[in-house]
Amino acid sequence: MPSIFRLDASIRQDGSVTRSIADSLEAALVSADHGEVSVTRRDIGLSPLPATAWANAVFGPYAPEDTRTPEQQDSIALATRLADELVEADAYIFALPFYNFGVSQHFKAWVDVVLTEPRFAPGADVLIKGRPAHLIVARGGGYGPGTPRHGWDHGTAWYRRVLEDIWMLDVQVIECELTLADSTPAMEELRGMAAENLSNAHASAADGGKRLARTLAAKAA
């Protein structure tokens, strides 16, 4: 049975746009008539990795095994588990918010720990190369050409750099902007556009889920 790895990084459950778009994608994927799929989830938004994991996973392996601290042992084991989750999946859903004009710190921490694992170390053969992935990004404001903050999105390019260029995944990107319009009085006039963005993102997610189901079924045949 094909397996999907889904990663959520929103720090909220209720009202999370990335989670709801990922839910649409997942629902379309599992309900498509192409056989069963299993979904393994990791929620780094609500259950972040320990902030000390990265340093321990970076430096632990340099210490002789019998001298490693319990924290180093735990962090190395964590890196192994995270790498296993990636390697064991056939396809991926990454649901990643935009925070403070940049990336989710929890996603950055997760990537940092994964990159300490020998299978994902720089220079290693990329084991997950070419596998299908969906990157779902939600931004509260708007950052397109002509907007006052065009050029201020310092998050999405890095998400893509990691997934497309470092891990060489075959990434479909679903972006949803203006998610703060409904709750921000100053964005009132943008609410129509925001609703349209959201509806388009859900439609893209549903299409993407169906397409992914077909791709996985074809690979399994």
Residues near ligand FMN (CB under 6 A) are: 10, 12, 16-19, 97-101, 138-141, 179-180
- Kindly provide the residue ranges of all beta strands, DSSP E only, lying in 105-186, ordered along the sequence: 132-138, 170-176
Written as six digits, the tokens of 50 are 């320990």
Smallest gap from residue 142 Cβ to ligand FMN (A): 8
The residue among 132 and 141 lying less far from ligand FMN, judged by its C-beta, is 141
Cα–Cα distances (Å) from 133 to 10, 101, 201, in that order, read 18, 24, 16
Q: Which of 10, 12, 15 is nearest to 183 (CA)?
A: 15
Smallest gap from residue 151 Cβ to ligand FMN (A): 13
Written as six digits, the tokens of 128 are 């997950």
The residue among 97 and 209 lying less far from ligand FMN, judged by its C-beta, is 97
Give yes or no for a contact between 142 and 178, defined as CB atoms under 8 angstroms apart. yes
The residue among 138 and 213 lying less far from ligand FMN, judged by its C-beta, is 138
Q: Which of 158, 162, 164, 160 is nearest to 132 (CA)?
A: 164
First-last CA distance in the chain: 11
The residue among 60 and 155 lying less far from ligand FMN, judged by its C-beta, is 155
The residue among 19 and 68 lying less far from ligand FMN, judged by its C-beta, is 19
Smallest gap from residue 97 Cβ to ligand FMN (A): 3
Taking CB atoms, the residue at the shortest distance from ligand FMN is: 140
Smallest gap from residue 153 Cβ to ligand FMN (A): 8
Smallest gap from residue 164 Cβ to ligand FMN (A): 21
- Kindly provide the residue ranges of all beta strands, DSSP E only, lying in 64-193, ordered along the sequence: 91-97, 132-138, 170-176
